[in-house]
Structures are given as C-alpha cells and as structure tokens.
Structure 1
Amino acid sequence: MVHIRSFGRRLLPAALALTVGFGISSCEKILDVEPQASLDSAAGLKTPADVQAALRGSYDAIQSANYYGLRYQLFADLAADNARHTGTFPSFAEIANGGILPANVELTNMWNIIYVGINRVNYVIQQADLITDPSFDKNGTIGEARALRAFHYMNLLAYWGGKPEGYGFSDGLGVPLRLTPTTSITGEEIKPKARASEAEVVDAIRADLDFAIANLPVARSTKAYIGKATALALRARLELRLRNYTAASNFASELNTALTGGVRLEGDYGAIFSQKNSSEALWEIPFDAVDPNQLAFFWFPAGAGGRNEVDPATTLGAAHEAGDLRRNVNVVTASTATSIYPTGTTRKYFRISASDDNVVLARGGEVILTWAEAVAQQGHLDSAAVLVNRVRTRAGLAPYAFEAPAPGTDGTVRPHVIVAKTNDAVVAAILKERRVELANEGFRWFDLRRTGLVMATLPAITQDFRILWPIPQREIQNSLELVKQNPGY
C-alpha cells in the first residue's frame, strides 16, 4: 500500500504558494522535511533518496479533498448535467446553479491546493538537477515531476482558462505560470505574477509532458505514479481539448503501441471501481485509512453515514440506452440499491466506512474515446466506429453501424444501432458515450466546454462569461490586482 502523508497546510495565497513540506509514508523509509510555510533552500535535498521521497510526497496535493479527494472531479459533473446538488452547502449550490461568485470558498481552496502541488514539484525539479550521483536517474525523476506539473496546469486551464467558446484560441486566457519554486518569504520569487496567456501555459505543459514521455518507462511498479503511458494519455487529453485532432489521435496511437497488448479495457466496467488498480487503469491515486477521501461521504445519504450533498442527475440515468451495463454503476436507484450501494449514489465511490476509494485519473476507456473522437474529427469515420464500439461492446450494447449488416446464414441481422455516416453524427454519438462511460469521474464540464455546448446543454447558464470560472477573489486581492479577473465578474 502506498499512501502519502501531509505535514502541514499552506499559509499564503496560492499563486504565491509556499510549499508546506514533503513526506511519504509506506513500507519504505519516510523522509520528514520540516513542516513550514516555506522550504529552507539551505537545507535542500542532499541525496537521490531525499529527492525521491520528496517526489513521492508531492503527490499528496492530489489527495486533498480540495482536489481529487473530492472537489475537482465532482465539480466537473455537478456544474454540468451528471450530478445534482441535494445538500446544504451554498458554495456547492453556486456551482450547480451556474452562478459562481469570485468569493466562492470551494474555488479558492481548489486553486490554492493546485498551486501548492505546482510549487512542490518545482522544488523537486530544482533539487534533482543539483544531484551529481551518477547512479541517480535524474532525467526520469525530473520527467515524473514535470508530468505532475503539466497535470496541475492542465487542470487550472480546464476551469479558469481559455474562452467561453472553448480552449485553444489565439486570445485564450491563461493562469499565473510559475516554473521555479518559492522557497522564501522574501525576494523576487515571492512577488505576484500576472496571468500568462493560454498559449504560454500550453507550451509549458507540452514541454513538460514531452520531456516525461522521453525519459520515463512505459509502466511503473505501482499505478500510483506517472509513467510514460500516463504522460501519453495526458498529452492526448490535452490535444483533444485544444481541438488538435491529428495530434490527439497520434498520441493515443503511440500509447496503444507502447502498451503490451495495446490500450486495455477491463472486462467488467464495474470492476474498474469495485476493485483497486484494475488492468484498465493507467494512473490511479490510492487512498486508505491514513489518507482517506470524502467521496463516498458526500454521495451517501445520512442514514448510511454520509451527508448526501450530491446525487446522480436524473438526466444521467436517462442518457443510458436500454441494457447499458454502466447504468447500474453510475446511478444507484431504489430498484438496484443494496446495503453497500444505497439509493441516490454511484458505485464508483462506495467505501463509506474507510473512505478509501481509489481515484482513477487516467484509464483505457477515456483514451479509446479520445482516439475515436479525434479520428472522427479528421473524417476517418470507419476507424472511429471500430474504436467506440469497443467501449459499447463492453457495456453490453449493440455496435454502431452506418448501414444494416448483411443477414447471416440463418437470415437474421445482428443487433446494431444506425448512425449517419457524417462527422457531426459520429462525434455526437461519441460524446454521448463519453458522458456515460466517464460519468462522475470529472470530464463532463470540460467536454461541454471544449465542444462549445455548455449553453445549449445547461439552461442554468444564460450568460457566456460564466463558462470561465472566476479567478478566486482572494488571489486577485493578494496580487494587488496584478492577476486580472476573468471578464464579466
């Protein structure tokens, strides 16, 4: 079991974030770096073991309840049409109703923890570069840290960057870009930074992921850590969001070639979540009794030990075709509920007693649908159908077809679902598959954003400026307004 221990909490606003300390707790040695608001650069990381322990500890930010321990992926479904707010938090209600204010505490905390994660890996990168031990895998270590940094910046852009029309436009808005660590509360490094453009942030993300792809092994000894396969999956995800479809399909194809046996799908969709570290998972963040998360607690009803802050949306259940095996995983109804899976929850997060559901951050189902959409957008519709039908077959559904198959020798026609052989029709079918395949995993809002479908899909969003979330007000104030607010707020 791998779990990562946090040694403290940050004291300063996030874009000026000072790392609070690193640590890893597992069967291996724990390196304790003194808890503090900033890292003592004089102490440094002296050995390869120090750097490796700090790198392992840098994953801790992702486990935060303000990141993938709850909020980041939950809000991508709550802001869209996959989840509904059933609880009492006004800050959650703002997100569900499309009326987010700059002072929303959820956004502030989420923004903050992402910059904490960035500062931690910046420190690892800086310190790793100073190690002279010839046995130290410097490039591999730096590559892993840079992939983590790319992941964080991708996630910042996903909510706060781009334009209302989507991502990847020449005048898209970015976020403050920090590529060196803040290790002191004095000097130039502590000064606020203005927002970079979206293009500048994307350039940094690509450079980081490309370095990781060039220097990491395809797979790691544990799915908790990023390897080349995950970096390729993230690169494909990035290019799809940016509407660079040739690049997206190329990276998905490269990943398929790199993996022995190609990109895998677990035979049973539910097993991706009922068991940990399934064969489909490329990157999976572990949680346990030492490092729990709040996912099941926020989904479960009070009578089952939760707070019932969210439920699956009615429209999510309706989005599944008859016979779709994913429906009972994504939406637990009164007719499918058990003592383990109560009504109004999802079977993806169900370990309420220990709060130790793992969170899958990259997996085969997403990669295949990314690949399918990217080739469809290039007009390769037959190839797209082959790919998306892998996912549909696993879900127990008839494959998509552009015309009725020829009857078999017994005169019967095998089951099929007709889709018009046009780019628009095939892409729409793939987006429908993404909605149900990736439900409650943190993709829906970003899919609506990148395809320009937010306002057409969500009646609550009546002003397009709300498609970009507001930069946290505290961040703007603490930067003395050097960090500019998104238009409209």
Structure 2
Amino acid sequence: MKSIQRIITITVICIMVCSCKKSFLDLAPISNANANNFYKTRADFDVAINSAYATLYTIYAPEEAASYTEIMSDNATLYAVAGAQADKWAIRDYTISASNTLIYQYWQDYYKAMFTINNIIDQIQVAGLDAAYTNRVKGEMMFLRGLYYYNMVQLWGGVPLVTKVISATDAYTTLRSSETDVYNQIVTDLKFAADNLPLANAVPALGRASKGAAQTVLAEVYLSMGNKSAATTLLMEVYNSGQYSLLPQYASLFGANVKNTKESVFEIQNLGGSASNPYSSYWTAYAPVTNGVITKYGGGINQVTDDLYNEYEAGDPRRDVSINTGYNDAKGNFVAIKFPKKWEDRTAPVSGTQELSNNNFMVLRYADVLLLLTEATGDATYMNQVRARAGLSAFGTANYPTAKYPTVALALEHERRVELALEFHRFFDLKRTGRALTVLPAKGKTATQNRLVYPIPQYVITQNSAITQNPGY
C-alpha cells in the first residue's frame, strides 16, 4: 500500500508563524523543525503541536470540506469551476470513479495529518514530562485524530487504522478496519480527550481543543452509532458547563474580524493580510469564477442551490446573512447567481489569485450543540432556543409551519439546514439520520446506498491488492 507507505515516511514540515495574539499560531518559533525529530522539552512540543493544528488548514480547506459535505448534498452545486473540473463535477453528480484525483488527494491529506498526530502521541509518552502536560498534549492530539477518523469513516467507511508511527513494512500489512473498529477507536480517542482537556476558558491558546469540543464531537459520533443516551449525557455537560452561549444576533457570528466568540466551540484560526499567514480562502474559492469584481478570481465551488435558498421561512434573517444572490459586473449589470456570504471579506488584500481574508472558521458552535441535543432527546426546547435567536416561532406553537415540518425530526432537519447552512454539516447530517436516500434522490441527486461513501483510491489498491474496494466501484 504505497500510498500509506509514502505518507507515513514523509517528513511533515507544517510550521505556521504569525502574530495573532494568544493563538496556537504563535507557538512555533521560526525554525526548520522536522516532524521526525525526537521532541524532548515543552518548547519542542509546542512546535510539534502547532504542526498538528496546522493540518486543519488542509482538512478544512474550502475545496476539500465542501466537496464531501455540501456539494454531495442538496445545499450546493457547481457551474463553471477552476481547476480539475471533471473530478469536481463527478463529486456533484455521484459519478465518482476510483481514479478521481481529488479523492486520492483527500486520502493523502488525512494520512499525512495522522502521521504528524501519531508522531506527537508516540513521542510525548516517552519524553518524561509531567503527567498533566503529557495527558493534555495527548488529549489534544487524540481530539484531532478522533475528529479526522470520524470524517474518514463517513467518507470511506472502514479505513486503515493507523494509531502510531509504523514502518514501511508494517504499512503494507495495515489493511482496512471495519467501520465498527474505526468507530471504537474514535470513541476511545475522544473519551481520552474529554477526560484530559481543560474547559474552554482554560485552554492554553486560542484555537486549541477543549473539553467541550471533544464532548461535542463524541456526542455526534454516538448519535451516528445510534446511542442517543450517551450523546445526551455529553451534550448536557456541555450545555450546563457555562462555557458557551448563543450570540444575540445571527449576523454577529460572521465577519472578517469576528473571532472566538462565546458561541464558538472549536474554531480554526486565520490571520489575513499576508500570504505568509494562514489566511482564509473560503471567500475566493466560493465566489463565482472569474467575476473580477467581488474577487479577483473566484473558484466557483460551493455555489448555493435554489433549493437551499427556498428552504428559509419568510422573514428568516439567516438567509441574507448566509447567501449572496448575485453581483454587479464591471459594467454595473447584475449577474444572478447564488453563492456563500458567511466568509465575505471584500477588503482583503490580494496576492496572485487569492484574497488574503481574515475570517476564522467555526468547526463547532453552540447552536450545533443545541440542535444535537434536540436530536438526542427529542425535546424541541433546545431547537427553539436557536429559532428564538432568529426571531421565529417555536416548534409546537400556532405560527410554526407545522404542515411542512410536522414532527420534531423533520423540524430539526429543516433547522439544522438553515442554521448551519454551508458550514459543512448537511451531507453528514442526512447520513447520520438515515435520510440521505429519501432526501437526495428527490432533489435530483443520483445517490444510492453504495454511493454514500467514496471509493478507495485506485492507486492505493494498485499498490496493495489486499486493500478491498467499496461495493459499487
């Protein structure tokens, strides 16, 4: 399995340096630190930890995350796109082949990240540092590993479980684990993280994982496994922790200078303005191609469907915060096309074809916790808190659109779609609730049971024929 062999033997140099106050981005000194170094001191591990968090910029890159969470759903589509057009259209159209270059790139990105994470876990355990620090570092790495494997099991089903740095020889004998075994490892990792990470108000730097972040991901994992009781216990701990709250206005959640608010549970830190910083590229990537007005050169991915736009109830302020309906071209003519607005940064400086935007990205936020609580408990009270923030009638009251969403489950599906629109939840939500094959074909998607997961990249199977392919590919 040469793909994994290459990944686990690669030296990962992923040091991000910037001046963001008290952010994990500060942790790495200017150096050539090598991921194969034997880290010994806290300063050494600060460098290593930074390299692990830096993998978030790849895993949640705009093209990668949108491809498997929005474009495969009914939220987003593609028209003209920059780059590998055929491979992107194949993801949209459920015509992916095992030779799709993007799917192979995503596979590589995850296993490169696992190498960095596993290397830190291996080395912190033999570094002889104090137990509290050691367990916190392990907890942070296990949070990232659990989060990434959760994404991977959603994308590919059973995947090779690599939980330590292994030799090239061992890589060839590391075959696909069952989905059950992958989920069990995710639970083990996230339990350790939840037990050893501090509350949000005590994390050592902005952007670092907290107890609440680990509990929230683990709760979603339990929901995916059908264990609503365990999910409820975790989510109620987050709910009662006093660490998080909804912001008064939905519009206050987004903006180039909105960072690490009380609603944020886990947030990727960006610092725009310089190409040497980890800037946000969502705005450029999600703008229409070559419009030359709002961005210098849009990527054209993650364009909003009419179906999502029409999902919003009359008077819901979240629609206009989330979605642009078009733009004026250089001649002042309005071009009607729907595209994401949440990561808009029209004043960002330009470098090459990129706007160097400053926007952070919230992987998890408190509204998600409340909606997951309704999913776990069947109690609409938590969902109604989210609706109240939007100024909308509560489920169960006279003015709620009961005819369209008559049950708590359908009301929640609607609410998660509009509250978390384009934030990389929709496809996984539909899979988790068993609704994908009801909803997506009705929207024109040629989704089938087999096509709800990606193929194992053909290059992986070519290099090791013992790796099995997913059915239907």
**1:488 equivalent in alignment to 2:469:** no
Instruction: Note if 1:284 corresponds to 2:267.
Output: yes
SS at structure 2 position matched to 1:116 = helix
2:315 counterpart of 1:323? yes
Where does residue 264 of structure 1 map in the other structure? 245
Say yes or no: does 1:175 pair with 2:159.
yes
Selected match of 1:310 from 294, 302, 311: 302
1:30 is matched with: 29
In structure 2, do the counterparts of structure 1 residues 336 and 398 end up closer, same or farther at CA, with 3 Å as the change threshold?
farther
Q: Once the 2 structures are TM-superposed, how far is the Cα of residue 425 of structure 1 from its aligned partner?
A: 1.1
In 2: Cα distance, 1:45 partner to 1:450 partner: 39
The equivalent of 1:166 in structure 2 is none
Superposed, which structure 2 residues align to 1:48-63 within 5 Å?
A: 48-63=42-57
Residues 102 and 294 of structure 1: is their aligned pair in 2 closer, same or farther, counting only changes over 3 Å?
Answer: farther
Cα distance change on mapping 1:28 and 1:211 into 2, 3 Å: closer
Residues 199 and 75 of structure 1: CA distance in aligned 2, closer, same or farther (over 3 Å): closer
Instruction: Name 1:5's counterpart in structure 2.
Output: none
- Equivalents in 2 of 1:394, 1:317: separation in Å? 19
2 CA distance for matches of 1:358 and 1:281?
10
- Provide the rounded CA distance (Å) in 2 between the counterparts of 1:225 and 1:447: 25
Distance 1:28 1:16 in 2: 28
Deviation at 1:279, TM superposition (A): 1.7
CA contact (8 A) 2:281 2:356 kept: no
The 8 Å contact of residues 223 and 283 in structure 1, kept in 2 or not, is answered as no
Residue 76 of structure 1 is matched in structure 2 by 69
Q: List alignment gaps of at least 5 residues for structure 1.
A: 1-11, 162-173, 377-383, 405-415
Tell me how far apart the structure 2 counterparts of residues 139 and 259 of structure 1 sit (CA, whole Å): 24
Alignment correspondent of 1:470? 455
Corresponding position: 1:208 with 2:189: yes
Alpha-carbon shift at residue 398 of structure 1 (Å): 1.1
**C-alpha contact (below 8 Å) 1:368/1:388 kept by paired residues:** yes
AA of the residue aligned to 1:444? R
Q: Which residue of 2 aligns with 1:239?
A: 222
Give the Å deviation of 1:360: 0.8
Aligned-pair CA distance for 1:364: 0.4
Amino acid at match of 1:486: N
1:349 aligns with 2:343: yes
Q: Residues of 2 paired with 1:276 and 1:134: CA distance?
A: 32
- Would the aligned equivalents of 1:122 and 1:181 in 2 still touch at CA under 8 Å? yes
Contact 1:98 1:461 in 2 (8 A): yes
Please tell me whether residue 100 in structure 1 is matched to residue 96 in structure 2: yes
| CA distance in 1: counterparts of 2:238 and 2:303, whole angstroms | 35
In structure 2, relative to structure 1, the CA distance for the partners of 1:473 and 1:211 (3 Å cut) is same
Q: Name the CA shift for 1:465/1:28 in 2 (closer, same or farther; >3 Å).
A: closer
1:238 counterpart letter in structure 2:
V
CA offsets, 1:125-166, max 9 Å, x none?
1110112134861111111111111111001011111xxxxx
Residue 270 of structure 1, CA deviation: 2.1
Superposed CA deviations along residues 189-213 of structure 1, whole A, max 9, x for unmatched, are 4434111011111111111111111
1:342 deviates by 9.4
Aligned match of 2:363 = 361
SS at match of 1:63: helix
- Tell whether 2:376 aligns with 1:374: yes
Distance 1:34 1:299 in 2: 34
What TM-score, normalized by structure 2, do the two folds share? Answer: 0.85
Question: Quick one: distance in 1 between partners of 2:92 and 2:28?
Answer: 43
TM-score with structure 1 setting the length: 0.82
1:297 pairs, out of 262, 280, 284, with 284
User: What is the match of residue 413 of structure 1?
Assistant: none
Counterpart in 1 of 2:434?
Answer: 452
Call closer, same or farther: CA 1:427–1:136 in 2, change over 3 Å. closer
Deviations 1:400-441 (A, max 9, x none): 11x64xxxxxxxxxxx31648x9x811111011011111111
Q: CA deviation at 1:391?
A: 0.7
Amino acid aligned to 1:254:
E
Q: Does the residue aligned with 1:417 lie in a helix, a strand or coil?
A: coil
How far residue 254 of structure 1 moved from its aligned partner, in angstroms, is 1.1
The within-5 A match list for 1:209-228 is 209-219=190-200, 220-228=203-211
1:237-274 CA deviation, whole Å, 9 max, x = no partner? 111222211111111101112234xx411112122121
Report the AA paired with residue 110 of structure 1. Answer: Y
C-alpha contact (below 8 Å) 1:454/1:461 kept by paired residues: no
SS of structure 1 residue aligned to 2:177: strand
Partners in 2 of 1:87 and 1:222 — Cα distance?
40
Shift of 1:357: 2.4
Within the candidate set 392, 398, 407, 2:393 is matched to: 398
d(CA) in 2 for partners of 1:146, 1:294:
27
Give the distance between the partners of 1:217 and 1:86, measured in 2 at CA.
44
Asked whether the 8 Å contact 1:14–1:113 carries over to 2, the reply is no
Could you tell me how far 1:455 is from its partner in structure 2? 2.5
Aligned counterparts of 2:237 and 2:132: Cα–Cα separation in 1: 28
TM-aligned CA deviation for residue 119 of structure 1 = 1.2
C-alpha change, 1:28 and 1:117, in structure 2 (3 Å) is closer
Superposed counterparts of 1:373-452, under 5 Å: 373-376=375-378, 384-401=379-396, 404=398, 416-417=399-400, 419=402, 425-452=407-434
Please report the RMSD computed on the Cα atoms of aligned residues, expressed in angstroms.
2.6
What is the CA–CA distance in structure 1 between the aligned matches of 2:70 and 2:434, rounded to whole Å? 16
Residue deviations 1:214-254, cap 9 Å, x none?
Answer: 11111124441101110011111111222211111111101
SS of residue matched to 1:284: strand
**Partner of 2:77: helix, strand, or coil?**
strand
